[in-house]
């Protein structure tokens, strides 16, 4: 399965299917295809980095990641490279106890063959990838959804629990409050099969409605 999708087709489809969202799309202009869709990546390494980046500023997380890379003598996080250092060394790099446990669980599952490779993911549905990865300690549905959208280029993902997505939907429909996740899922049905592209816009719409500078979002 090729990664990514035709963003021009997605733009036209969303404008046709949803007049309110379409008005925002025209106002904000086309969003380009994500260059990460064409770049190879390693799911285990990406998940390890997602764990390390959780609940930290980008700068703080990058510092910790750099220390761990130095300690393991590699820029790839895997069961074999993570096995080179003990928990105390990880903690010394600034990795929290919970994140240390999460990295160990990820490494154990990789060794057991439970983490699908990029090639294997190409044959799996979005739901199957979510089901395979959320059992990993520290990996929630949102993290997997970001991987599906930004790395695997899956066209039809709508992260209904994401606050930015909900705020964007609130602005599109001029609601007094953010829609509940269940209501957003129902609202988003008409955006299929390009709910990922709609999501890219909902984040920008939320930023625009708040008068904020756009927040860069990525996975891994």
19-28 vs 7-17: helix crossing angle, rounded to 10 = 140
CA distances from 169 to 20, 62, 205 (A): 10, 32, 8
C-alpha 23: how far from its chain's center? Answer: 26
C-alpha 121: how far from its chain's center? Answer: 15
Identify whether 193 is preceded by a cis peptide bond (ω within 30 of 0).
Answer: yes
Per-residue tens of pLDDT for the chain, all 220 residues: 678 999 999 999 999 999 999 999 999 999 999 999 999 889 999 999 999 999 888 899 999 999 999 999 999 999 999 999 999 999 999 999 999 999 999 999 999 999 999 999 999 999 999 999 999 999 999 999 999 999 999 999 999 999 999 999 999 999 999 999 999 999 999 999 999 999 999 999 999 988 755 555 555 4
**Taking Cα atoms as reference points, which of 127, 128, 104, 108 lies closest to residue 116?**
128
Which residues are designated catalytic?
162
CA distances from 189 to 148, 155, 202 (A): 18, 13, 15
Give the pLDDT confidence score for residue 215 in this predicted structure.
Answer: 53
Give the pLDDT confidence score for residue 220 in this predicted structure.
Answer: 46
Q: What's the predicted TM-score (pTM) here? A: 0.89
Give the pLDDT confidence score for residue 147 in this predicted structure.
Answer: 96
């Amino acid at each position: 399965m090729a990664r990514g999708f035709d963003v021009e087709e997605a733009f036209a489809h969303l404008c046709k299917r949803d007049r309110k969202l379409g008005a925002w799309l025209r106002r904000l202009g086309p969003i380009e295809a994500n260059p990460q869709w064409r770049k190879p990546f390693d799911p285990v390494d990406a998940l390890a980095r997602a764990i390390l980046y959780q609940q930290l500023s980008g700068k703080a997380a990058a510092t910790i990641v750099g220390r761990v890379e130095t300690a393991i003598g590699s820029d790839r996080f895997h069961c074999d490279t993570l096995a080179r250092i003990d928990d105390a060394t990880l903690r010394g790099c600034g990795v929290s106890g919970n994140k240390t446990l999460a990295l160990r669980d990820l490494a154990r599952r990789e060794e057991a063959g439970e983490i699908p490779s990029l090639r294997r993911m190409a044959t799996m549905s979005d739901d199957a990838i979510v089901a395979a990865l959320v059992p990993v300690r520290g990996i929630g549905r949102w993290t997997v959804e970001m991987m599906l959208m930004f790395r695997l280029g899956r066209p039809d993902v709508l992260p209904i629990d994401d606050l930015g997505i909900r705020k964007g939907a609130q602005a599109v429909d001029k609601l007094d409050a953010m829609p509940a996740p269940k209501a957003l899922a129902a609202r988003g049905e008409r955006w299929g099969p390009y709910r990922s592209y709609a999501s890219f816009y909902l984040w920008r719409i939320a930023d625009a409605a708040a008068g904020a500078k756009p927040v860069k979002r990525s996975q891994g």
